[in-house]
């Protein structure tokens, strides 16, 4: 047996794949939030940040490809693992009772699928800038600021001013954070880096980090809808 088949063929190997890709995606989610929160520092700051990323392909593309690879691995392992899990219990219990398992832990697949759908929309919305999906009738790629840069700030304000879009965004980040509240601590378990001694701290950290992420992400459309950011 070689390393490749042990990692991609064994149950524990697939969990490692899921945990490591999950950890890196978590890192991205944190960085992405920090980037976006610059909306509160005003158009100049945010547009400069956007311009920097768009004009630095040596960072942008490796990051994008890396993220794509992580997403593929994460989803691949999720599908494989959950198919095996379904097959492992062909006949369900007549009385279904949950012992200890949290809501988040039992709904990882569902929350993950909705998040994946959202990510596709989100990319079309703000990265591909497909006009049909932003529901505002505006062409986001035509938005330029005074310095001739892509006006990311105005794109966000206009994009989230549509309540349905903002609501979908809020639901998705809510689910993302539910997903992470279990995922972040359980990835330590999967990688064998958890025990009773500090396990409870990890669980609290996961919940706390998820909450902060939710507040951070939710702050943007909320502020726009409430007119605090114009």
Compare residues 149 and 179 and give the one whose CB is closer to another protein. 179
Of the candidates 190, 207, 213, 224, which one interacts with another protein according to CB under 8 A?
190
Q: Decide: is 11 part of the binding site for another protein (CB under 8 A).
A: yes
Q: Are 180 and 172 in contact (CB under 8 A)?
A: no
Q: Which of 221, 215, 206, 143 is nearest to 174 (CA)?
A: 215
At residue 148, φ and ψ (nearest 5 deg) are 85, 5
What are the start-end ranges of the H helices in the chain? 3-9, 11-36, 43-54, 57-88, 103-106, 108-122, 152-161, 163-190, 196-225
Q: Decide: is 16 part of the binding site for another protein (CB under 8 A).
A: yes
Compare residues 125 and 182 and give the one whose CB is closer to another protein. 182
Tell me the CA distances in angstroms from 192 to 21, 196, 227, one per residue in order. 15, 12, 46
Q: Shortest approach of another protein to residue 187 CB, angstroms? A: 9
Q: Decide: is 4 part of the binding site for another protein (CB under 8 A).
A: no
Q: Which of 31, 4, 46 is nearest to 229 (CA)?
A: 46
Q: Which of 104, 78, 102 is nearest to 21 (CA)?
A: 78
How many C-beta atoms lie closer than 10 Å to residue 181's C-beta? 24
Q: Decide: is 23 part of the binding site for another protein (CB under 8 A).
A: no
Q: Decide: is 207 part of the binding site for another protein (CB under 8 A).
A: no
Of the candidates 154, 179, 182, 207, which one interacts with another protein according to CB under 8 A?
182
Beta-carbon contacts of 115 under 8 Å, excluding residues fewer than 6 positions away, are 172, 175, 176, 179
Q: Decide: is 200 part of the binding site for another protein (CB under 8 A).
A: no
Q: Shortest approach of another protein to residue 17 CB, angstroms? A: 12
Residues between 99 and 138 with contacts to another protein, criterion CB under 8 A: 99-102, 105-106, 108
Of the candidates 138, 161, 189, 222, which one interacts with another protein according to CB under 8 A?
189
Distance CA 168, CA 179 (A): 16
Q: Decide: is 191 part of the binding site for another protein (CB under 8 A).
A: yes
Beta-carbon contacts of 57 under 8 Å, excluding residues fewer than 6 positions away, are none
Q: How is residue 35 written in tokens?
A: 């980037």
Q: Decide: is 75 part of the binding site for another protein (CB under 8 A).
A: no
Compare residues 6 and 228 and give the one whose CB is closer to another protein. 6
- Total of chain residues touching another protein, rule CB under 8 A: 47
Q: Shortest approach of another protein to residue 119 CB, angstroms? A: 22
Please give the residue ranges that form the binding site for another protein (CB under 8 A).
1-3, 6-7, 10-16, 81, 84-85, 87-102, 105-106, 108, 182, 185-186, 188-196, 199
């Amino acid at each position: 047996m070689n390393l490749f088949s042990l990692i991609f063929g064994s149950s524990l190997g697939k969990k490692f794949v899921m945990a490591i890709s999950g950890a890196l995606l978590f890192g991205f989610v944190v960085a992405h939030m920090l980037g976006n929160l610059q909306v509160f520092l005003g158009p100049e700051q945010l547009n400069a940040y956007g311009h920097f990323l768009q004009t630095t392909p040596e960072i942008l593309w490796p990051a994008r490809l890396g993220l794509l690879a992580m997403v593929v691995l994460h989803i691949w392992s999720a599908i494989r693992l959950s198919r095996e899990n379904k097959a492992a219990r062909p006949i369900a219990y007549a009385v279904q009772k949950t012992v200890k398992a949290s809501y988040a832990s039992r709904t990882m697949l569902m929350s993950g699928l909705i998040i994946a759908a959202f990510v596709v929309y989100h990319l079309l919305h703000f990265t591909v800038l497909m006009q049909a999906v932003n529901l505002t009738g505006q062409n986001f790629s035509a938005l330029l600021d005074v310095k001739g840069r892509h006006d990311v700030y105005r794109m966000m304000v206009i994009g989230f001013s549509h309540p349905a879009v903002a609501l979908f965004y809020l639901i998705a980040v809510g689910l993302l954070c539910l997903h992470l509240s279990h995922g972040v601590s359980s990835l330590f378990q999967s990688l064998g880096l958890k025990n009773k001694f500090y396990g409870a701290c990890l669980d609290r950290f996961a919940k706390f980090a998820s909450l902060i992420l939710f507040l951070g992400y939710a702050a943007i459309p909320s502020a726009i809808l409430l007119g605090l950011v114009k």
